[in-house]
Structure formats: C-alpha cells, structure tokens
Amino acid sequence: MTESKQTTGRLYGVGLGPGDPSLMTVRAVEVIAEADVIAYHSARTKPSIARSIAAAHIREDHIEEPLVYPVTTEGTDHPGGYRGALEDFYAEASERLAAHLDAGRTVAVLAEGDPLFYGSYMHMHKRLAGRCPTEVVPGVTSVSAASARLGTPLAEGEEVLTILPGTLPEEELTARMASADPAVVMKLGRTFAKTRRALESSGRLPEARYVERATMAGERTGELADVEPGSVPYFSVAVLPSRAGAGTAERGAERDGERGPAERDGERGEVVVVGTGPAGPLWLTPESRGALATADDLVGYTTYLDRVPVRSGQRRHGSGNRVESERAEFALDLARQGRRVAVVSGGDPGVFAMATAVLEAASREPYTEIPVRVLPGVTAASAAAARAGAPLGHDYASISLSDRLKPWDVIAARLHAAASADLVLALYNPGSQSRTWQVGKARELLLEHRAPDTPVVLATDVGGPGEDVRIVRLAELEPAEVGMRTILLVGSSQTRAVRRGDGEQIVWTPRRYEQGEAP
C-alpha cells in the first residue's frame, strides 16, 4: 500500500451560509482573507452562487479556480453515464487543487450552506484531506435558513428531524414522509412534482411549506400546495414543520373543554386502526407511524399504548384487554366529535385483534358515516416464524385457542380439520392464568394426526425484552411453559428442524411436496 503524498499547502472547506453574505461566519471571512487560492463550483451556463456570496471578500490578488461542472442533468454521452462524468470531473478538479497545495498555497473551497451537508466540497475533501492539513468551516444550512424565514420551529422535544433528497424514488419519499415527524425535502427543481405527489400520498400535503432561495434575492415562501411545478428552482426546499407546536395550539382540546381541531375546521373525524406489530417501534410500518403521529387521540389496551411515544397535545385513552366493544364505540364517539382517532392494536389489527370490533361497531348507527381505515402490522405468527426460520413456508392455518369468544367444540373441530389437511398451524392465545388446560388438550388432538417428533416453535414475547424462542417436539410440549405472550407454530408432516454447523437450530417447511408424499 502506498501512502498519499503530503503537500505543504493547507485546504479549507468554507461554508458561506444560505445566500445572504451577512450570514457568513467570522471564521469564513478570516479564511478567505488568508487564502492564496479561492475555488468554487459552478454550472457551465450560470455564475457561481458561492462566489457571488463571498464576492466582497475576494481580492484581485487571489488566484481563482472555477470548478465548472461538465453536466448538470443526467443527459451525457460519457461512457460511464452521469455518475461516471461526475467522478471524472471530481478527480480532475481535485488534481487542479492539489497542484496549488503542492506548491505550498492555501486553498479555500467555497461552499453554499455547510461544506459537508449535500455540498460539492465534500468530493474535494474526500480526495484531498489525507494529503494536507485541512479545516472545515461550518456554515448555516438551507434547512436552518428555511425554518428561520418561515418563522416555524423545525423540531421540538423528542421529535426526530428527517432530511430527504427529492431525488429519492417516489415510493421511498412517500414512505419516509408518512413515518417522519418534521421533515425537509431538498433538491427540488425537477423533482418538485414527484415530491408533491409523495406529500399528497402520505397525507402530509396540507402541512407542507415551501421556501425558495432563502435569505437571497428572489426569496419566496408559502404553502407548498399552491406552488406551480414549473416555477420551482433547484435552490428550494419543502418543509414539514414541527408538529409539537401545532399540537399545543390546535390539539389541546383537553384544556377548557375546547373542541378538536377537525371539528373546528368543519371536517369529519376518522378512526384508523393501527397494527403495531408484536413489540416496539422496530416493527411499525411507516404508514402506521404516520397515523399515530397525526392522531388527536390514541385509544387502546394500555400495554399497546405504552409502545407509542408520548406527543404534546395528544390524548391517550388506555383500558384493559377485555373491553374491545366498549373501546371501539369510545373511539367512534370521539370521531363523531370531529377528532382523528388511532385505535392501537398489537400485531396485525385484523388478526384476532381490534379491527373486527371497530368495524362491527362502525356498521351500526350512529357510526355508519364515520370513516374507518385499517393499517396492517406484522403478525405474531410472522414474527415468530422469522425468528425460528421459515416454518410457514407452505400452507398454514391460524387458530385461536381462546374459548372466551367461541366454544371449545368449535376449536377442537377446526384443529382436527386443519391437522388432517396437513397444514402448519399458528396457534394464537394458547394459554393464560385462567386458561391452563387448552394447550394440553390441543396437543392430544394434534397427536392423532402428527408424529410425536413434529417440530413446534414456542415463541414468547417476540421482539420484547422477555423474548424466548425455542423448538420442541410436539409430544414434549409443556402447557406450563405457555403464557399470554406466547404463540405456537406446529409443523406439518413436511416441516424440518435442523441444527446447523454453528449450533443454531432452525425450522422450515418445504414449499413443495415430493410426488406421493401428500396425505
């Protein structure tokens, strides 16, 4: 390995701020004054914006190095395409600057905003920083400038600010916007129409603000929904401001008996049934995150509500796990008052969970006009299967062993039918403190159709702090080891349990039956 040649010059990456020269830092002005060479990037047909910001500090005796991009769009005949053309340009530009550094000169590379935040300087930095002493002078970013010009907080408390390039695929933009707290989308210009569609698809368009050329001549701000796509330059951003401030002002209905924001705006409320997956935030889909963030009220079993972060101005209504009908009607009554309500459910809300209770109540008066949506979540069966391998790789059936809402005779008949069809079984609600015999009885029924060594995945609290996933033989399944947080996956005649070279035991069900093996 050869070491990089060390030069005698010094390299500076100088952040100039968002455009107004008065927002340059004292250190930026000092570095420009000390530099021998002033370098700046620009397009072929337009003057350098970076140079125009620093123009008052550039002297006649400065050596100027304009670094002119060969392309500004993806149209190029370069054999390596757009990326190849830029790579060659950055390499050539770096060598031009290296010649000055080798001669002992101090080189200041000017950068709009901050040099290491979506800036061109970083490409010089990566190639030259190891060859000479280097200093990066931070600058005010366009994100900070946009927030200041809007007079709107970007992030408050425990909110997470998301920065997105508009060049992302539309579906990716939509998903990230749906799950974000506050967010900023940069690099608009030709990506504006796509960004607007993503904002609309994610339900965030009404809150989106637009900032163009913040702090510069020609600055424009306003509601993003009102902006004409053809008028949007590259130097513009979309801003989804902090929701915390809005929540304090708009959603504080619990104070002084105020009405909810949707009711004040003359809009109807709605109920969204949200699946949180088997455990915490890692299992939430982006759409579910968005629904939980925008809700005025959260309704649910207290254990599931505890998985959702507390937000300013948002009401939380927890209850026990045996009042599904009452909880559903309570949520619908809130929506009748014009509030946006998220009913929080574990796993997938449509699998032995709250979606049925809400839709059943919503099919009766006085709730038939209330909009209801159901957002899916990762099921307990899918989560347990993923931890164990792929036991659900072929046909399977999901059966709840709880006889609280249906008689045991129905459960037994379904167990017999599914087992005789050689289906893998996902057994929900197998046991609790008050239900201790069902697992043993189910084991007896299944052994009438399955071999004693049939693999059974016994998964408890998947994704949670008490996670325990084990593989046992059907004949050795112990009811005492099964609790409320447990799901059982019982293999078919084809399911295999194998211990791999590292000692890990995995389970999978082949996707095909060999000829003559079907029962």
Q: Which residues contact 485 (CB under 8 A, 6 or more apart)?
A: 460, 461, 464, 466
Owner of token pair 């052994």: 447
DSSP state of 452: T
- Tell me which H or E stretch contains 297: strand 297-301
CA dist 326 and 335 (Å) reads: 14
Query: Token digits for 316?
Result: 């939380």
CA dist 25 and 204 (Å) reads: 35
CA of 126: how far to CAs of 1, 39, 309, in Å?
18, 16, 39
Query: Token digits for 356?
Result: 């049925």
- Amino acid type, 484: M
DSSP state of 293: H
Note the Cα 91 to chain centre separation in Å. 35
pLDDT of residue 252: 41
Q: What three-state secondary structure class fits 210?
A: strand
Q: Is the peptide bond before 479 cis (omega within 30 degrees of 0)?
A: no
CB count within 10 Å of CB 466 equals 9
- Tell me which H or E stretch contains 2: none
- Tell me which H or E stretch contains 513: none
Q: CB of 122 within 8 A of CB of 25?
A: no
Q: Which residues contact 403 (CB under 8 A, 6 or more apart)?
A: 411, 435, 438
Q: CB of 339 within 8 A of CB of 247?
A: no
- Tell me which H or E stretch contains 87: helix 81-102
Q: Which residues contact 370 (CB under 8 A, 6 or more apart)?
A: 268, 269, 270, 271, 332, 335, 336, 362
The structure's pTM equals: 0.78
Q: How would you write the pLDDT of the chain (519 residues) with one tens digit per residue?
A: 334 566 789 999 999 999 999 999 999 999 999 999 999 999 888 899 999 999 999 999 999 999 999 876 656 778 878 788 889 999 999 999 999 999 999 999 999 999 999 989 999 999 999 899 999 999 999 999 999 999 999 998 888 999 999 999 999 999 999 889 899 999 899 999 999 999 999 989 999 999 999 999 999 999 999 999 988 998 899 999 998 755 433 444 433 344 444 444 456 799 999 999 988 788 888 889 889 988 999 999 998 998 888 887 899 999 987 789 999 999 999 999 999 999 999 999 999 999 999 999 999 999 999 999 999 999 999 999 999 999 999 999 999 999 988 999 999 999 999 999 999 999 999 987 778 899 999 999 999 999 999 999 999 999 988 899 999 999 999 999 998 889 999 999 999 999 998 888 999 999 988 765 655
Owner of token pair 């400065």: 62
Q: What three-state secondary structure class fits 322?
A: coil
pLDDT of residue 517: 60
Beta bridge partners of 399: 427
